[in-house]
Amino acid sequence: MRIDNAYFTRRKFLNSILGGWLGAVAASFISPIVKFVWPPYKEPDEVKLVFADYSGMQPGEVKNFAWGSKPGLIKRAPDGSFIAWVGVCTHLDCNVAWLPDKKQFFCACHDGWYDENGTNVSGPPPKPLRRLESSVEGEDLFVRKPGVGAKT
Amino acid sequence: MKIDMKKLAAWFDDRLALTPIFKYMTKKEVPQHEHSFWYYTGSSILLFLFIQIVTGIMLALYYQPTLEGATDSIGRIMTELPLGWLIRSVHSWSSTFMIAFVMIHLLAIWFTKSYRKPREATWMTGMMLLVVSMVFGFTGYLLPWDDLSLSATKVGTNIPMAIPVVGKWVTQFLRGGGDVTGDTLTRFYLFHVCILPLVIFAILAVHILLVQKEGMSVPLKDEIAKKKVPALPFWPNFILREVVIWLVLLGVLLTISLAFAPSLELTADLMAPAPEGVKPEWYFLFLFQTLKIFPANMGPVTGEFVAVVLILIAVVAIFFLPFIDNKPEGKKGKLIQYLGVAGLIYAIVFSIWSLL
Ligand code: HEM
Ligand code: FES
């Protein structure tokens, strides 16, 4: 049925009301589903290590620690402080290894190399290894994301 | 009591309306010409898909998709369960055969130009099947959860990150978070045994329905010449030939599976450095090598970004190939023929290169 001078029929009007309503109901489910399917990003802000496990390291020595679910690398600097990196290649995410005799970090996936300061020197890695901050606080050795700062 | 089979059949026919389907099968004809051999590629894929489903369900009876249990449960399948090693070997080899035949099927249709009007949608659903088949392989590769499969998955799921903004979402969706963890394994398992099977059946149903609706294509030159191509009845003549090919393929598959069973490495350690020789499955090698030849940075963007965008453009172009090749008998049609050859040579050369 069409009322005089109307742009559309009554059927068309009712169809779009029903269709629009169904569409809106469907759309309202999208957000909770998306939120559930994409979990919150879980990288830690800081991890606490036992200083005693690392205090005996020689300058230039590198050890591993767990940075959440990926490896971290921590190196003793000549002045006794620590330098830490996320031990994950900046190319495509493979875990890197520290090769003590070469004094370089090596990624076996596509032959990527970083020098002892974590700077990418050869192969596909486009960036240096990601730096983390570290500080000794009493018995603990804290490793933190840059800019997070100590929690008091 | 004697059951009247005729009556029983009539009862079912009444409810399910089967007669038209049987009638169709007996009336269906398959054209015979110099390229009809390639018609068997589609049904060969179906054979391997069927084997994947049967062996996959068998493996799933004992496989455990957890960080702690995955590798051990496969070890148990291979050492403790009767013929478990063979079931795993067949599942692994049949996946290789299936993808190989999907590729042969695609190339045969490319070279015979059977995708031309009115079979554009058949081709497009076919491209979707190719992608789904490859995702099947990619998700299955992680399930043994050893060092190699972990690193390969880290690399594979990191590739979308090359695309700004959306890439990060894709990666986090695939991994179930920022990193590859136990959640990734659970997710991949769910994709591999639930979501992808549902998807492949839905697309395959459309694909095969379209093939029935249009009938098999005839060679382009016969179509232009309006020549009548001789035909073979689908039932039983064509099916008989199909069954013979199935049996031969089954024999080859079993022989290879018996001789070359896949190995199992040590269980993956999320903290360990990547092992040497991280490689994806063979059908990803040419893409892997393509990514590798791009330099780290190309002006303002990363080389990876350029590579990923180029690959995406190629995939989209192939998806719409029937529309690009809208004058198959003309000059452009010839060129596209040669592009297919070039693409094949490219894929072979790059795959071999990646192994050097
Ligand atoms: C899981 C993967 C696939 C399965 C199970 C499958 C199955 C089949 C079957 C049974 C046929 C009929 C027989 C034949 O022509 O061989 C067919 C035909 C066809 N397929 Fe596929 N297919 C798959 C993937 C693909 C791919 C990747 C493409 C190309 C992008 C494709 C494009 C076509 C076309 C255009 C036809 C019609 C051929 C003609 O009429 O001559 N299919 N497919
Ligand atoms: S992931 Fe390290 S070089 Fe590619």
Any domain includes B106: yes
Residue stretches of chain A with pLDDT short of 50: none
DSSP label at residue B162:
G
Residue whose entry in the numeric block shows the structure tokens 């309503």: A21
Looking from the CA of B287 toward its CB, the CA atoms found within 13 Å total 16
Chain A residue with Cα closest to B161: A92
Testing ligand 1's pocket by substitution, the residue of B41, B96, B98, B109 carrying the most ligand atoms inside 8 A of its CB is B109
* pTM for this predicted structure: 0.90
Any domain includes B292: no
**Cβ of A64 and B271 within 8 Å?**
yes
Q: What is the CA(B102)–ligand 1 centre distance, in A?
A: 8
Chain A residue with Cα closest to B175: A38
Q: pLDDT value at position B292?
A: 83
Closest Cα of chain A to B9: distance in Å? 43
Any residues with CB less than 8 A from the CB of A142 and at least 6 apart, and which? A46, A47, A48, A49, A134, A135, A136, A150
* C-beta separation of B224 from B213 below 8 A: no
Distances (CA, A) of B273 to A62, B209, B341: 14, 49, 40
**Cβ of B154 and A93 within 8 Å?**
yes
Task: Give percent of chain A with pLDDT exceeding 70.
Answer: 97
Closest Cα of chain A to B279: distance in Å? 8
Q: What is the CA(A123)–ligand 2 centre distance, in A?
A: 8
Q: pLDDT value at position A37?
A: 92
Any domain includes B23: no
Interface of A with B (CB under 8 A): 37-39, 41-43, 64, 66, 68-71, 87, 89, 91-97, 106-110, 120, 124-126
Any domain includes B198: yes
Coil/strand/helix, residue A56: coil
**Cβ of A95 and B302 within 8 Å?**
no
DSSP H or E run through B132? helix B120-142
Cα distance between residue A123 and residue A107, in whole Å: 9
Any domain includes B40: yes
- Which of B178, B181, B302 lies at the smallest CB-CB distance from A126? B302
Tell me which chain B residues have a C-beta less than 8 angstroms from the C-beta of A120.
296
- Strands (DSSP E) found in chain B: 29-31, 231-233, 297-298, 301-302
For residue B249, name the pLDDT band (cuts at 50, 70, 90). Answer: very high
Any domain includes B120: yes
**Cβ of B155 and A41 within 8 Å?**
no
Any domain includes B28: no
DSSP H or E run through B211? helix B196-214
* C-beta separation of B332 from B342 below 8 A: no
**CATH code assigned at B41:** 1.20.810.10
Distances (CA, A) of B11 to B1, B21, B23, B284: 18, 16, 17, 51
Q: pLDDT value at position A149?
A: 66
For residue B294, name the pLDDT band (cuts at 50, 70, 90). Answer: confident
Indicate whether B91 pLDDT > 90: yes
**Cβ of B173 and A37 within 8 Å?**
yes
Closest Cα of chain A to B285: distance in Å? 13
Give the pLDDT confidence of B176-189 residue by residue, as tens digits: 988 999 999 999 99
Indicate whether B1 pLDDT > 80: no
> Tokens for B294?
């791009």
Name the residue among B210, B236, B212, B246 with its Cα closest to residue B51. Answer: B246
Residue whose entry in the numeric block shows the structure tokens 């009809």: B36
**Cβ of A38 and B169 within 8 Å?**
yes
Distances (CA, A) of A23 to A10, A13, A28, A42: 20, 15, 9, 33
Indicate whether B310 pLDDT > 90: yes
Cα distance between residue B287 and residue B159, in whole Å: 11
Q: What's the rounded mean pLDDT across residues B106-120?
A: 95
Q: What is the CA(B240)–ligand 1 centre distance, in A?
A: 19
For the Cβ of B109 lying below 6 angstroms from any atom of ligand 1, the answer is: yes
- Mean confidence (pLDDT) of chain B: 93
Cα distance between residue B252 and residue B44, in whole Å: 13
Q: What is the CA(B211)–ligand 1 centre distance, in A?
A: 8
The sheet with strand A131-137 has its strands ordered as A46-50, A140-144, A131-137, A82-86, A70-76, A62-67
Q: What is the CA(B310)–ligand 2 centre distance, in A?
A: 20
Residues of the domain holding B182: 36-267
Give the pLDDT confidence of B134-171 residue by residue, as tens digits: 999 999 999 999 988 999 999 999 999 989 889 999 99
- Which of A38, A94, A106 lies at the smallest CB-CB distance from B151? A94
Q: How many domains does chain B have?
A: 1
Any domain includes B27: no
Coil/strand/helix, residue A135: strand
